[in-house]
Amino acid sequence: MSNISTTPTITGRFEERFSHQIDALNQGTLDDPFAFLGPHQITSDKYALSAFIPGAQQVFYQDKNHQRRYQRVGTSDLFVLSLSKKQYNANYQLTIAYPFSTVVEQDPYKFASTLDPKAVYLFNEGTLEQAQRHLGAHWTIIDNVEGVRFTVWAPNANSVSLIGNFNHWNPTRHPMRKHLGAGIWEIFIADITDSDTDNNYKFSIITENGERLEKADPFASSMQLPPQTASCVPTKANSGAWQQSPAKAWAQRAERNAINAPISIYEVHAGSWKRDENNQFLSYKALSEQLVPYVKNLGFTHIQLMPISEFPFDGSWGYQPVGLFAPTSRFGSLADFQFFVDACHEANIGLLIDWVPGHFPADAHGLAQFDGSHLFEHADKRQGFHPDWQTHIFNYDRAEVQSFLISNALAWFDNFAIDGLRVDAVASMLYLDYSRQEGEWIPNQYGGRENLGAIELLKQVNQRCYKNHPGIMMVAEESTAWPGVTAFTDQGGLGFGYKWNMGWMNDSLEYMSCDPLYRQHHHHEMTFSLAYAFSENFILPLSHDEVVHGKGSLLNKMPGDDWQKFANLRAYYGFMWAHPGKKLLFMGCEFGQRAEWNHDQSLDWHLLDQPAHQGVQALIKALNNSYCHQHALFELDTDHQGFDWIDASNAEQSVFSFLRYNKAKDEHVVVVSNMTPACHSNYRIGVPNLGEYEVIVNTDDTEFGGSGFANQASYTAEYVEWQGFTQSICIALPPLSTVYLAPQK
């Protein structure tokens, strides 16, 4: 290496000439740092280099053969160097002498932009499907140098700087390049270690009003464990997985998610299904080892996780997300979450994730007023603020927000190969007047209350998810009579695969909460759902919402003494599993949890020491087994040809009887529910066939904690006309029970 050479001393006039830039750099407000910092060819034979490095004592230009010292501009932290074209080598590095250390770094301002113009165009157009691959933090190689490119959308910011562990959270060290037409800011940092713990970062944003904000990355693939709020650079291993479809194929997905498949979903809050001996969360790996086998043993076909996109407040249960692209770090890393997904699929269990595109919280590090303006949320509170949840509502009419949400939905399939998304609070998105009084909302352009932007977004999300990932399932939690939720978009529908049947849930729980003495006056609450059961592709939900906020557990909704409560619950489950529609049951309900759900503690697993709770759990296993093996119970869930009432009008005895058929109509199941404590020794029902009918489920069986009133295994149909059939059977109908019978093969 040659002797160190220097440029002439910089004069005070030079400092005065660049006083504006120096002031802006000191304040972290320089709006175009790449036009000033780094190397610039100023004549055909001359380069000027500048570096702004707070705290540095000396800065040196260093290439393979030379080291040359930058000159400090006055007393500032700006250092400059002039080189001839012959002296300049684009592969130079900076050697920086601090008071107690010397480091060698790449100059981030020498690298050209690598942002894809086509992707930027599509992002601004609202049609970019994988925005997370272009924005956020990504390992990449530029000019044979490996590092991380940081990119953020903040069009109304005066300036944006990258802050993190790697620059001591100093907002003056790494001001970013702005792409004026796109409103996107970018910088490439080469000197970052590949670490699980040390690469935390945020964006320091100066607003048009001069306010400084520190924001987490909206596109971050991982974030710090709350209450910490920074984003995390993914490790190279996780970054690679993030960029590619998962290696493990899930060929069974189309089969397990199909309309004509048995779908029985176990809804789980990962933070309170079980806790360890110190009341700490189970990790994704521990859930793989404990939850997956448990669900498999009980015969559920799917797990639905309540929201796991990173969220700051445990009490929101995940429904107020900040990091929509980041699986929460509460339970482990990205790789740990992928391990959990793989464990589900290896057990042939589908995995659904609760997705929340309806609103987001006002936390300072989150999306709210991201660049000092209403960027992600609608500016008018009548459209952009949710009065019930005190949260912000996305501006669905903004193209970039559409790209953000479409990309986020697709990312869960692209990156982790989950089976489906359950979209939260769809009704709150569809209606402009949702939970608002007159004068608190703005009609759409046609004078209606439909949120046209949200409707189009939901259609786009469903179209693109199904197109890119055939065999998945998109599920709407939609609580109104909005038409065509599960109809194809080209037929005017929203394009979901399934819709929660909130009407069935409300009516049936209202009925079951009645004293059996008065149920005859509420008979229609159990039959009305069949008037619309085939208008959508329904899932019957008994979710977390039914066992919180003073509503009591399912068991304690049931009337009567303790024995009757359990009998009612078992009869209700039997009715539900036979009713048209896929099934969803919240954790703890499968063994009759007595207390309301508490997100701060484990389920009451000790209850399984008691026979009554063991019986409910055994019944759920038996119902899932019968449901999955009796094609008549699931093949025609969305077709009226799969259902016939035997007797829908026996209100006096509160007995319901009906038939379920398979697609070929060569199999059927007879279902009889007795919703009073009265026993019927010879209850006659009409049936389609002669021959033997085998009892395949009896919720009153002693195995399930029942009375064992009827222990007969089969009944013979005889030529006695009854209820429109030419043959019938007489059965012993137990108290508060549901019985399934099927012709013996």
CA distance 237 to 334: 10
Which residues are bridge partners to 84 per DSSP? 46
CB neighbour class for 449 (10 Å; exposed up to 12, middle 13-18, buried from 19):
middle
Question: CA-based Rg of the chain, rounded to a whole angstrom?
Answer: 32
Per-residue burial over 708-731, b = 16 or more CB atoms within 10 Å of its CB, e = otherwise: ebbeeebbebeeeebeebebbbbb
Q: Are 221 and 334 in contact (CB under 8 A)?
A: yes
Look at phi and psi of residue 561 and say left if phi exceeds 0, alpha if psi is from -120 to 50, else beta.
Answer: beta
Task: Give residue 481's identity as a one-letter amino acid code.
Answer: A
Choosing from 424, 478, 525, 700, which is the catalytic residue?
Answer: 424
Q: Are 351 and 341 in contact (CB under 8 A)?
A: yes
CA distance 190 to 404: 27
CB within 8 Å of 668: residues ≥ 6 apart: 632, 659, 660, 661, 662, 688, 689, 742, 743
Tokens standing for residue 651: 């209100």
Choosing from 342, 477, 590, 635, which is the catalytic residue?
Answer: 477
424 is catalytic: yes
CB within 8 Å of 592: residues ≥ 6 apart: 553, 554, 555, 566, 569, 607, 612, 613, 616, 617
Give a three-class secondary structure readout of 156-208: CCCEEEEEEHHHCCCCCCCECEEECCCCEEEEEECCCCCCCCCCEEEEEEECC
Tokens standing for residue 271: 């933070």
- Across 207-244, the runs of DSSP E, i.e. the strands, are 212-215, 231-232
Which residues are bridge partners to 202 per DSSP? 163
Mind telling me the catalytic residues? 424, 477
